[in-house]
Structure 1
Amino acid sequence: MTETLPEAPVTGTPAPDVRPAAPRRLLVALIISELLITFALATPIVATLSLKVQEIAPDRKEQVLATVMAVGSIAALLLNPVFGHLSDRTTGRFGRRRPWITGGLLAGLPAAAVMATAHSTAQLVIGWFLAQAAYNAALAALSAVIADRVPPHQQATMSGLFGAAGFAGVVPGLVLVGLIPGSTTALFVIPSVIGALGAVLAWSLLREPAIRPGAARAARTVNLRSVLGSLLFDPRTSPAFTVVWCQRFLLQFSNALIGAYGLYFLMARLDLSVAEAAGLVSATGLVSLAGNVLAATVFGRVASRTGAYRALVVASGVLMTSAMVVKMFSASVWPVYLATTVAAVGLGAFYAVDLALVLRVMPDGGDAARYLGVFNIAKALPQTLAPVLAPALLALGSDPVGASADQNYFALFLGGAVAALLATALTPLIRHPKLVRD
């Protein structure tokens, strides 16, 4: 069976998509694959890399960990759209996406072995780079399956479930770290082994039609110019895509700006000890995770039934802005819990609809994985930029609220609030013929 790609209409209102509902096995495969990829990537970030760095470079652990994390961020930033570009042009009997998804999950296993056996910073950096390459190859193709094979009336629901799986994928890593905190080898290997087993399941469930080597679009030439071009897009020809990209960047930036300083914020504002602050971070982390998963699941279904994507983006931005304002003035425990809950619901609501929204506004032409990879840059880039800007905000004078005036957390949360508010204000600029219901 050969896939035939429909030509996008040149002018006028886009033709209605009459594809039948996606089979349940496909939806299950998408959710499980996203869960496993997040598990494999989140566990090292949460604890395993820190533990390994403590083993190999205890006297320089902060600098070494920063180097390892930076290399991983750059790899994710660049490789996701590149692998998406390659996936768009893959041909063969096994389809376009399935080889990259299963191959990426399998390739995570040797990458984990490199990290688990690392006795030097260089080896750990190489291993983490390989892991990011493997799992971003899988992620790039996985998101594109939704564009390829899930019809529009199911995409918002799938977006919500996909987002919920991404949030929930952190939980197994947290549990694993709690069960075997002293075994870095097992903490590296177990998630990758489970991911490799998941690759077998994905291969059986993500059956695709074959793509003939001469098929239109799929057989376009891959060269250095096309690969480098996969990292860019022209805002003039895709204004709605540009706005949605900027919104994701700003909301993720707002969240990343304060994420790394949660422990220090609680110690400064609430005058807590390290142990007390760590306990509160764990408790609020669980609240945040529950809010993320619940909001992503619920609002994905709401968006699917109502088509109110832009309205939910506005609601999400307002909630995240409000959470930042509450934390600006927080000096006790309960406002912190309130702000955490509001922010979790807001972020979960956004990730419930942003994938479905971008699928409607991104340029046509058979480059779904490439554009989704570019869209993923808006999520990865803030994680690199926010830690650079945060110290500058913290150094702006003294904190007018906290007991300790050494770091200005008021300014830090004000920066987060401004970013979230700006993202919300961009919503009226999202205009596209496929958005007709809100």
Structure 2
Amino acid sequence: MTAGVAAAGGRSALDEPLRPVGRQWTFSWAMANLGLFLANYGAQQIVLPRQANAIASDQDAAVVVQSWANACASVATVIVSILAGALSDRTLHRTGRRQVWVLCGVVLCAVAFVFQGSQHSIAGVVVGWTAFTAGFAVVFVALSAAVPDDVPVNQRARVSSYFAVGTACGPLIGVAAVTFLLTGILDAYVGLALLLLLCVLPFGFLTRGIPLRRTERPPLALRAITLGVFMPLRSADFAWACGQRALINLSNALAQIFLYQYLKDAVRFDPDLGTLVLLVCYTAGIVVVAIPVGRYSDRTGKRKRIVVWSSAAQGAAALILAFVPTFPAAIAGASLLGFGYGAYLSVDQAVVTQVLPHAEDRGKDLGVLQLSSALPVIVAAAIGGVLITSLGGFPALFLASAIAGLAAAFCVLPIRSVS
């Protein structure tokens, strides 16, 4: 049997969903997100640095390779997120608007990883990582748009909390796999590609959304799509939600993305083992808080105060990493970072789906919002290299993370459509 709400009494694809989604839909959706983050973090934290170190001659050169790969991938993310969202809004497939995009995106991710694993040049790494990031953007936008399509408002924080658990456990599994089992470069990329397919394909094949009627299909025009990127930003709530999401993800990314190099060069600890240990602590922090905080949020309707708490926790974690470069302090910082980010993720989907201006543009608007989630990771890799090599080293990196985390709290307060 297929999961979903396809038989919801003739409901339009543009209507607000009222019927709760079942466990099968929630599980396959959470597993798809787990697979995305498993592959992304396993590669970003371990395999890409390992490949960069194999290509480059020293630490600074390896950082530059990573920065170039992520900077180029950011361009693809901007374009693909918006186009994939807009095109999925107009998709008339019988299984719904999002499922076919999930399938196409995950295949692109897998092919890109196999290609990247065979590369031995900076150009090859940049091309492979850019293609993977494009596929990641397609899948993530489609999965995000499935939430306002199918999940009622009073169930979204609970669904978001499972998203938090999935996206926390995914990186841990990915890093563990490439640390202990897939210790080469090619085998790591191929292994991550297979795990990604295993996690994501069930949602694409086994769930169904509400098919879009041809009469409901918005016109397709490049000018309209281009202008549509900026139109939702005229909504103050949408703009503030973009800002707070971008800042809290930038804070989290700055605190994590160069942990491998931080452990190797500042803490003087085995970076493979150390990254895994810190990721375990980070994941435990997320898992402990995510589901109870999500249920609390759905029960009370409160979202903004949770974002404020999480922002403060992330800022404090970054300060620990900045000024106490020891492994025990890094464990404390990673745990606190997990508590903060887990609380945030437990309400993230609820917050962003409650500020969408128009039902017919959910995918495109979430594609815009996706930029505030994906670009900070890529921007962090690009500017992080500059902070480390030219503007004060690792303390400057983590201080920037703390500032971004605290600034996120001020962006969520003006949002009126969220309590």
TM-score band by shorter chain is: 0.7 to 0.9
- Distance in 1 separating the partners of 2:264 and 2:196: 37
TM (normalized to structure 2)? 0.86
Tell me, what secondary structure is at the counterpart of 2:215?
coil
- Distance in 2 separating the partners of 1:28 and 1:151: 16
Q: Are the structure 2 counterparts of residues 281 and 62 from structure 1 closer, same or farther at C-alpha, using a change threshold of 3 Å?
A: closer
Quick check: 1:273 aligned with 2:229?
Answer: no
Aligned partner of 2:111 in structure 1 is: 110
Quick check: 1:309 aligned with 2:307?
Answer: no
Are the counterparts in 2 of residues 82 and 230 from structure 1 also a CA contact under 8 Å? no
Aligned partner of 2:316 in structure 1 is: 322
Are the counterparts in 1 of residues 13 and 210 from structure 2 also a CA contact under 8 Å? no
Aligned partner of 1:29 in structure 2 is: 28
Q: Which runs of 5+ in 1 are unaligned?
A: 8-16, 398-405
Q: Are the structure 2 counterparts of residues 56 and 4 from structure 1 closer, same or farther at C-alpha, using a change threshold of 3 Å?
A: same
Q: Are the structure 2 counterparts of residues 419 and 152 from structure 1 closer, same or farther at C-alpha, using a change threshold of 3 Å?
A: same
Which whole-Å deviations, capped at 9, do the CAs of 1:130-180 have from their partners, x for residues lacking one?
A: 222223211111111111001111110001111221121112221221233
AA in 1 matched with 2:412: T
Quick check: 1:368 aligned with 2:362?
Answer: yes
Aligned partner of 1:11 in structure 2 is: none
Q: Are the structure 2 counterparts of residues 230 and 131 from structure 1 closer, same or farther at C-alpha, using a change threshold of 3 Å?
A: farther
Q: Are the structure 2 counterparts of residues 110 and 230 from structure 1 closer, same or farther at C-alpha, using a change threshold of 3 Å?
A: farther
- Distance in 1 separating the partners of 2:113 and 2:411: 41
Are the counterparts in 1 of residues 249 and 373 from structure 2 also a CA contact under 8 Å? yes
Are the counterparts in 1 of residues 77 and 375 from structure 2 also a CA contact under 8 Å? no
- Distance in 2 separating the partners of 1:84 and 1:132: 15
Aligned partner of 2:185 in structure 1 is: 184
Q: CA deviation at 1:387?
A: 4.7
Q: Are the structure 2 counterparts of residues 150 and 127 from structure 1 closer, same or farther at C-alpha, using a change threshold of 3 Å?
A: same
Q: CA deviation at 1:262?
A: 4.2
Tell me, what secondary structure is at the counterpart of 2:233?
coil
Q: CA deviation at 1:265?
A: 5.6
Q: CA deviation at 1:416?
A: 3.1
Are the counterparts in 2 of residues 117 and 185 from structure 1 also a CA contact under 8 Å? yes
Q: CA deviation at 1:390?
A: 4.8
- Distance in 2 separating the partners of 1:116 and 1:227: 35
Aligned partner of 1:40 in structure 2 is: 39
Q: Are the structure 2 counterparts of residues 110 and 152 from structure 1 closer, same or farther at C-alpha, using a change threshold of 3 Å?
A: same
Which whole-Å deviations, capped at 9, do the CAs of 1:100-134 have from their partners, x for residues lacking one?
A: 11222233332233223335443333332222222
- Distance in 2 separating the partners of 1:92 and 1:331: 53
Give the CA RMSD over aligned residues: 3.1
What fraction of aligned residue pairs are identical, expressed as a percent?
A: 26
Q: Are the structure 2 counterparts of residues 414 and 179 from structure 1 closer, same or farther at C-alpha, using a change threshold of 3 Å?
A: closer
Aligned partner of 1:239 in structure 2 is: 236
2:401 to 416, 422, 432: 416
Are the counterparts in 2 of residues 82 and 231 from structure 1 also a CA contact under 8 Å? no
Q: CA deviation at 1:183?
A: 3.0
Aligned partner of 1:161 in structure 2 is: 162
Are the counterparts in 2 of residues 3 and 211 from structure 1 also a CA contact under 8 Å? no
- Distance in 2 separating the partners of 1:52 and 1:327: 25
TM (normalized to structure 1)? 0.82
State which drifts further: 119-128 or 181-190.
Answer: 119-128
- Distance in 2 separating the partners of 1:30 and 1:106: 17
- Distance in 2 separating the partners of 1:283 and 1:357: 31
Aligned partner of 2:413 in structure 1 is: 428
